[in-house]
Amino acid sequence: MKIVAVTACPTGIAHTYMAAARLEKIAKNFGHEIKVETQGAMGIENRLTENDIRQAHIAIFAVDIEVEERERFNGVKVIQVPLQEALKNPENIFSKLQH
């Protein structure tokens, strides 16, 4: 499955980046292809292109704040989870996708 994801936390200091690393790792274990955009204090990094988003089967928002430039995801199925879910139980997010 092709997945795009966005991570963002209120302070943008650490959890944004930690969640991105977790999602990348666990997605690979599940055999998915994933690209994760981080919206932290360093700005938008690893930006998802129009192409990435159009080709994705699903978008995961692991965020505790609003996603920047959310209109890019119009027409894509989005699953939104609290950021801590991506840090504590990232497996849960992906096992839900299977059903």
Partner 1 sequence: MKPSDARSHARISSANQIVIHTLEEYLRETRIRRVHFGDGTTAPPPLAYVTNFPRLSVPLAGCHIMEVARSGRTETIKPVRSHAVFVPDHAWNKPDWSSRVDVLTLLFGVKQIGVSLVRHKGGSQVPASAVKASVHGGYDVPTHSILATLMVLAADHTRGPLPRLLTESLLHACLRLLKSPQKQRPRKAIRTYESICLYVQEHFHSPITRESVARNFGLAPNHVSRLFRKEGFMRFNDYLNLVRVNRAKFMLQNYSMTLKEIAASCCYSDPAYFCRVFKKTCKVTPTEYRTRSTTQVSAGSN
Of the candidate residues 33, 69, 76, 95, the single one contacting partner 1 (CB under 8 A)? 69
Annotated catalytic residue, options 9, 27, 59, 93: 9
**Closest CB to partner 1 among residues 50, 98:** 50
Q: Does 25 bind partner 1 (CB under 8 A)?
A: no
Is 82 a binder of partner 1 (CB under 8 A)? no
87 is a contact residue toward partner 1 (CB under 8 A): yes
How far apart are alpha carbons 33 and 29 in whole angstroms? 10
Q: Which residue has the tokens 């965020």?
A: 63
**CA dihedral (74, 3, 49, 37) positive or negative:** positive
DSSP secondary structure code for residue 99 in this structure? -
Chain centre to alpha carbon of residue 19:
8
Task: Report the candidate in 26, 28, 23 with the shortest Cα–Cα distance to residue 46.
Answer: 23
9 carries an active-site annotation: yes
| Catalytic residue set | 9
| Residues making contact with partner 1 (CB under 8 A) | 10-15, 17-18, 21, 40-43, 45, 49-51, 54, 64, 68-69, 71, 84, 87-88
